[in-house]
């Protein structure tokens, strides 16, 4: 999950919770949560569906697919968070710091909704300030290594991070072609969610 993008494209505290919760629940469970959290679950799915169908993302996947095949999308997600974290047109450095602290605060306030394994991850995420530090090569390298370690059928020594560095300019262009469209889509989706109330 590209955590920074999903939190940036949340329009309320409840949506932040729902965006994170989506990866930890079965579909039928989503209706047991407050409406604002349900909206976040819906938003997460809308973002993923839009992302998977965008031409710029298809191009970005070609960078990683020779090495990691079907896992290319996961590495593109991580890459997009890097470019978002460095996109000063959307937020200042101070703004990203405030954003990350808000997300950790909201998640901790709603920790009762999450399973134990998420609580452990959140503790590490906050201590190491993952959201703010996605701007650095070092943190993105760590994130990519983490994806490799979780993938069942991939060699843990595949040089995915090196490929990211070698193709950074091309991936930046993919981000530039993609993210404004995603932002507009998320804003429209949020308006639709509010019109249904």
The 10s digit of each residue's pLDDT in 3-20 is 999 999 999 999 999 999
Contact 11, 18 (CB under 8 A): no
Q: Is the dihedral of CA 54, 65, 3, 115 positive or negative?
A: positive
Please state, rounded to an integer, the average pLDDT across all residues of the chain. 93
User: If we measure between CA atoms, which residue out of 103, 89, 90, 165 comes closest to residue 131?
Assistant: 103
Residue 56, pLDDT score: 98
Residue 31, pLDDT score: 85
* Structure tokens that stand for 138 in this block: 């070092």
Residue 44 CA to residue 21 CA, distance in Å, equals 9
Q: Is the pLDDT of residue 93 over 80?
A: no
Residue 57, pLDDT score: 98
Residue 197, pLDDT score: 61
CA dihedral defined by 9, 137, 103, 123, rounded to 10 degrees? 140
Residue 97 CA to residue 158 CA, distance in Å, equals 32
Q: Over the stretch 111-161, which tens digit does the pLDDT of each residue have?
A: 999 999 999 999 999 999 999 999 999 999 999 999 999 888 899 999 999
């Amino acid at each position: 999950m590209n955590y920074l993008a999903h939190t940036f494209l949340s329009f309320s505290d409840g949506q932040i919770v729902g965006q994170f919760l989506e990866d930890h629940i079965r579909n039928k469970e989503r209706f047991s949560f407050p409406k604002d959290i349900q909206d976040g679950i819906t938003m997460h799915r809308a973002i993923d569906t839009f992302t998977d169908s965008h031409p710029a993302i298809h191009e970005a996947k070609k960078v990683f697919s020779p090495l990691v095949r079907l896992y290319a999308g996961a590495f593109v997600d991580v890459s997009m968070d890097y470019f978002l974290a460095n996109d000063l047109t959307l937020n200042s450095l101070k703004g990203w710091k405030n954003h990350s602290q808000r997300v950790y605060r909201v998640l901790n306030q709603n920790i009762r909704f999450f399973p134990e394994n998420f609580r452990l991850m959140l503790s590490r995420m906050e201590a190491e300030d993952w959201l703010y530090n996605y701007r650095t090569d070092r943190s993105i390298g760590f994130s990519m290594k983490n994806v490799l370690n979780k993938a069942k059928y991939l060699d843990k020594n595949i040089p995915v991070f090196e490929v990211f560095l070698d193709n950074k300019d091309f991936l930046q262009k993919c981000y530039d072609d993609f993210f404004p469209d995603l932002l507009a889509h998320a804003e429209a989706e949020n308006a639709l969610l509010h019109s249904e109330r």
